[in-house]
Chain A
Amino acid sequence: MRARLLAVGWAMAFIALALILCGIIFQASGFSAPDMFASILDGAFLSDGALLHDLRWACPLFVSATGVIVAFRCGYFNVGTQGQFYLGGIGAAVAVAMLPHAPAVLVTLAAILAGMAFGALWAFWPGWLRIRSGTDEVITTLMGNFIAVLLLVWLTSGPLKDPAGSGQVTSSPPIPAAIRISTDTGVSGWIIALTVLVGVVTWILVNRTAFGVLGGLAGRNPVMVTWQGARLSRLGLGAFLFSGATAGLAGAMEVLGPDGRLVSGFSPGHGFTAVLIALVANLSVSGSVVVALFFGGLASASLYLPVIAGLPSAAIDMVNAAIALFITARSLPAWLRLPKRNRS
């Protein structure tokens, strides 16, 4: 318990350092740092409806982060969350397009399951390559992100394109309200229920199943669990599929929820923020609830800043990047100490 509190304390200290660094840069580029932080705080948590916006962004981020937690704990650095998230959105949109006459509830369920399946598929091939031939999953999952972005662009400007659309950003036709799981606010019973369900399931998986303990051991020392008779390939593939499915679910939640259609290039920073949440929370499921709310706040502030305060929203990207930098620096010594992974 003390160790966990200490870890949280360290994470807070690093976030504070990141904010100080941002403050210096704001000040140096001609903005008033106190004003900037006040506006971010306003946009994130204090202004009317800020907490609702916060939740709107935090829910899908948390869902994706749970998958990152499981994969990273097992020692697989799946950083393809963004691609798996997009595939999830595509899966949901495809399911909706293919079931034009089915009852709304069934379409919704089918779309959610299709999103999870597509996301899992996008994690399956890097997982397979990793386990079969030792291909570095960091490279393959990153590359998968680029392919997924292009797939999304192609689908939204080709097969799934809304013929009535005239905006600059191409998208699929709007999804009927009966099929959607929330209005444009992005907060609804469905979304909260799905998020809570994923949180509970992941917490049980990590803390109360044989998979959780063995995965944790395998992540720290795969050689040891091999000598205990574990089949790393099964354990690893399970971790990849779970993380892909959760990211896919988050994508489906976006498309069926606040977005209401498949938009080209939606939520571009989602996957990396999810990885960041998992790392800041020290791969703890309960910790990432709080951290996801914090990053959800930053995400809503980035929409608030240019509109209400007339400040550049890039400030939020900078805050995110600075936090990423400091958190990675914190985890780096621990990663370097990890025993070499078995490449058999």
Chain B
Amino acid sequence: MASALACDGLTVRFGAFTALSAVSLSFPRAQIHAVCGQNGAGKTTFARACAGLLAPSEGSIRIGDALLRGGQVKDARAAGVELVHQSFALPPSFTIAEAMEFGLTGQRGAVFTRRGLQARWQPHLDALGVEAKPSTRIRDLPVETQQAVEIARALAGNARVLILDEPTAVLAPSAAAALFQRLTRLRDSGVTILIILHKIREVLAVADTVSVLRGGRLITGPDAVADLTAGRIAAAIIGHSPAKAGDAATETAEDIGALVGTDLPHGHRHTVSAPHAIATLAGITTKPAADGQSLQDISLTIGAGEILGIAGVEGNGQRPLVEVLAGLVPLTAGSVTLDGTAVTGLPLAARRNLGLRIIPFERNTEGLSLSSPLWENFAARGLLAKSALSLINPSALRRAAHAAFQSWDVRFTSVDNPARSLSGGNAQKVILAREMDDAAKLIILAQPTRGLDLGATAFVWQAMRDARDRGLGLILISSDLDELFDISDRLVVLQGGRVAGQFAPPYDLGRVGAAMVGDH
């Protein structure tokens, strides 16, 4: 039987960097094929090359019997290959029906009526079990429905191969289960599915075969999942040296499990010797922001020497929570206390002077100025504590940055180089070096390990635990439940801008997951 999709010696280079190196694979039809690997292993590059979005530097891709011309999305789609993107690519202002029609090619010049479009697409949605009206706008849909619509859009043509790039990253656990059911039904109807996955647990739950990439090379695959164990997949993903962080090679077995998503950790009860509140939020309510997020009557206490995890489906108030603590959004009600001082009306600069530190959501825009030299990025926090016209000594600041980067194990060539010269993990270490200083009392970490490889992730976790053990208060906001379960001393679930539940170890996935989607 001919394979649905096969590549032979597939190599993709970006300049001097080889993202994929001589990958040869063939995927049998009508199966679910998982592709796994760490961040930076080449998974997304592989998906994009197969969908025709990237031209191979060497090698070839075959769809069925036809050779795919590299870099030609139209050809790939005509051959029946559709990619469901990691971040959704449907226009938010379109209705579902418009988005579906828009996705079809080769209808230039046709005239549509709203009613006609809706009538045309309703049966398609019904057939795929998508419960939404075709007249609803994309932006008004919950994220899992958006994803279902995106999949329906991909299947609107004659898709025979569906590629999904980390579809579970944005979903609550129950929504992920529903997605897997949907994919299984599609497989049974004859569609071949390539799914990029991060967690071994999910691979075992849904896939028929698994292929593992590491450092752009194919390590193994496609291997039948039935013959594999979680441990063997984990070994293939991690390779021989899991602790790339060097000195921070103190991960427990549970850490490794959380890193590759084998067994969900349940967390440890961490006893705080002399707990006192380092920060309190009382009855916080905010106006809805541009993205529709707001907080409704949030009350929280963060103790010294604890890591408070914030769980929740993305977009349920995580960003306003950080902005409220930073003093960057006005409150309609409530008060904030930091280390015993009422800071409700105080600007961020004053809060930072009291020991607040923030590792913001967006490393490359909010955390660093990519085009500015590294030493300026590092010095910014210290300079803002001074008056604007105070004289500085740039060579002393350069030396300080150099010393700090060395003690944080940042791989850099010169502090005069722009921040964009660093990899994601090293860029995050620069931010950690700046924000986790001796005067810090409360550190907010928003998605601190997103996009980092295993070594860098383990490094960040170690830094958080060290800070906790020094008596600092930490707030960890993450969409990765494995991470939250592994290192949070306490867990709060945000849903619709409210606290939907507070949990202590041992954590129970069922209860936390239910709180995330609002089932009590």
A residues near B, CB below 8 A? 204-205, 207-214, 216-217, 220-221, 223-231, 234-235, 238, 337, 339
Q: Which residues of B contact A224 (CB under 8 A)?
A: 365-369, 377, 380
Q: Whose C-beta in chain A lies nearest to the C-beta of B386? A: A210
State whether the Cβ of B371 lies closer than 8 Å to any Cβ in chain A: yes
A-B contact pairs, 28 of them (CB 8 A): A209-B392, A210-B383, A210-B384, A210-B386, A210-B387, A213-B383, A213-B392, A213-B397, A214-B383, A217-B369, A217-B372, A217-B377, A217-B380, A221-B372, A224-B365, A224-B366, A224-B368, A224-B369, A224-B380, A227-B326, A227-B360, A229-B348, A229-B349, A229-B352, A229-B381, A230-B349, A230-B380, A231-B349
In angstroms, Cα B181 to Cα A33, docked, is 77
Cβ–Cβ contact A210 & B388, under 8 A: yes
Assess A221 versus B370: contact at CB under 8 Å? Given A210-B389, A229-B349. Answer: yes
If over half of A's interface residues share one DSSP class (helix, strand or loop), that class is named, otherwise mixed; here it is: helix
B residues near A, CB below 8 A? 326, 328, 347-349, 351-352, 358, 360, 362, 365-372, 376-377, 379-381, 383-384, 386-394, 397
Cβ–Cβ contact A337 & B384, under 8 A: no
**CB within 8 A of B388: which of A214, A223, A229?**
A214
Q: Whose C-beta in chain B lies nearest to the C-beta of A230? A: B384
Cβ–Cβ contact B389 & A209, under 8 A: yes
Cβ–Cβ contact B365 & A234, under 8 A: no
Cβ–Cβ contact A211 & B389, under 8 A: yes
A79 to chain B, nearest CB (A): 22
In angstroms, Cα B390 to Cα A211, docked, is 8
A213, A216, A225, A230 — which one has the most chain B CB atoms within 10 A of its CB?
A213
Q: Which residues of A contact B379 (CB under 8 A)?
A: 213
Q: Which 7 A-B pairs have the closest CB atoms?
A: A221-B369, A229-B349, A229-B348, A211-B388, A210-B383, A229-B352, A224-B369
Q: Which residues of B contact A230 (CB under 8 A)?
A: 349, 380, 384
**CB within 8 A of B371: which of A207, A212, A220, A225?**
A220
Assess A228 versus B380: contact at CB under 8 Å? Given A210-B389, A210-B392. Answer: yes
In angstroms, Cα B366 to Cα A221, docked, is 8
In angstroms, Cα B372 to Cα A217, docked, is 6
Q: Which residues of A contact B371 (CB under 8 A)?
A: 220-221, 337
In angstroms, Cα B379 to Cα A207, docked, is 14
Assess A216 versus B376: contact at CB under 8 Å? Given A210-B388, A224-B367, A235-B388. Answer: yes
Q: Which residues of A contact B328 (CB under 8 A)?
A: 226-227
**CB within 8 A of B372: which of A212, A216, A226, A235?**
A216
In angstroms, Cα B347 to Cα A210, docked, is 19
In angstroms, Cα B383 to Cα A235, docked, is 13
Cβ–Cβ contact B391 & A209, under 8 A: yes
Assess A207 versus B394: contact at CB under 8 Å? Given A214-B383, A224-B367, A228-B384. Answer: yes
B154 to chain A, nearest CB (A): 31
Q: Whose C-beta in chain A lies nearest to the C-beta of B328? A: A226
In angstroms, Cα B376 to Cα A157, docked, is 51
Given contacts A217-B376, A224-B377, 4 further A-B contacts (CB under 8 A): A217-B372, A224-B380, A225-B384, A228-B380
In angstroms, Cα B389 to Cα A208, docked, is 9
In angstroms, Cα B418 to Cα A125, docked, is 34
Q: Which residues of A contact B347 (CB under 8 A)?
A: 229, 231
In angstroms, Cα B358 to Cα A221, docked, is 17
A9 to chain B, nearest CB (A): 19
Q: Which residues of B contact A225 (CB under 8 A)?
A: 369, 380, 384
In angstroms, Cα B358 to Cα A224, docked, is 11
Q: Which residues of B contact A238 (CB under 8 A)?
A: 388
Q: Whose C-beta in chain B lies nearest to the C-beta of A204? A: B391
Q: Which residues of B contact A231 (CB under 8 A)?
A: 347, 349
Q: Which residues of B contact A228 (CB under 8 A)?
A: 348, 352, 380-381, 384
**CB within 8 A of B369: which of A208, A211, A220?**
A220
Q: Whose C-beta in chain B lies nearest to the C-beta of A212? A: B392
Q: Which residues of B contact A204 (CB under 8 A)?
A: 391
In angstroms, Cα B388 to Cα A210, docked, is 5
A152 to chain B, nearest CB (A): 33
Q: Which residues of B contact A205 (CB under 8 A)?
A: 389
B56 to chain A, nearest CB (A): 28
Q: Whose C-beta in chain B lies nearest to the C-beta of A334? A: B371
Q: Whose C-beta in chain A lies nearest to the C-beta of B369? A: A221
Q: Whose C-beta in chain A lies nearest to the C-beta of B379? A: A213
A226, A234, A337 — which one has the most chain B CB atoms within 10 A of its CB?
A226
Q: Whose C-beta in chain B lies nearest to the C-beta of A218? A: B369
Q: Whose C-beta in chain A lies nearest to the C-beta of B358? A: A227
In angstroms, Cα B351 to Cα A210, docked, is 19
In angstroms, Cα B397 to Cα A231, docked, is 22
Cβ–Cβ contact B391 & A339, under 8 A: no
Q: Which residues of A contact B372 (CB under 8 A)?
A: 216-217, 220-221
Q: Which residues of A contact B326 (CB under 8 A)?
A: 227
Q: Which residues of A contact B362 (CB under 8 A)?
A: 223
In angstroms, Cα B392 to Cα A228, docked, is 18
